[in-house]
Amino acid sequence: MASQIIDNKIGKLLGSSGTAAGYFLMIAGAAATYFYNWTGLLLILPGIFIAFTYDGTRIDLRSQRIKNYSALFGIIKTGKWYPVSHFKRFSIYKSKRSYTTYSRANVPLTLKDSDIRLVLLDETGSLKITVNKYDSFEAAKKDMNELTKRLNLIELKEWIR
């Protein structure tokens, strides 16, 4: 039997720069704990939080509900469940994100990320839940059609921008 819950990981809390900083804090905290004293553990906990916290979406096919969550420390998933009937349309759009980090010489290093996102919107557009991210528009459209069938969503409209 196929799984009744779809779990999509959307992205990290602070992007790749933040994740690298989290790993650095964990390593520095472990070294401080080993060489000095137990106060180095104060660096390990924030490092774990920064490195492993991510955002995602869970879709419960059996109960017809969806949840946008943040996985704190990569384990504790916090968020609110919404019935799928609350949403009135899909949207597919191109997301462009950039993360800027500055060196000690104040030289910026900007990492740019671009992907296609499939989101569910309520009637007013004020509530938006990202279902998943994709490399191509066609993959997002295919997944949208599959979700429409699996969740029996015949009244949903497609809205492309």
Residue-wise pLDDT for 61-91, tens only, equals 888 899 999 999 999 999 999 998 888 888 8
For residue 126, what pLDDT band results from cuts at 50, 70 and 90? confident
Tokens of 58: 């869970």
Residue 73 gets the label, from left (phi > 0), alpha (psi -120 to 50) or beta, of: left
Locus of tokens 């104060």: 42
19, containing H or E segment:
helix 15-35
How far is Cα 4 from Cα 87, in angstroms, rounded to an integer?
20
Tokens of 70: 């943040």
Parse the chain into domains and list their residue ranges: 5-160
pLDDT tens-digit profile of 1-50? Answer: 456 899 999 988 888 888 989 999 999 999 999 988 888 889 999 999 99
Kindly report the pTM of this predicted structure: 0.81
Phi, psi of 114 (to 5 degrees): -135, 135
How far is Cα 160 from Cα 140, in angstroms, rounded to an integer?
11
How far is Cα 58 from Cα 81, in angstroms, rounded to an integer?
9
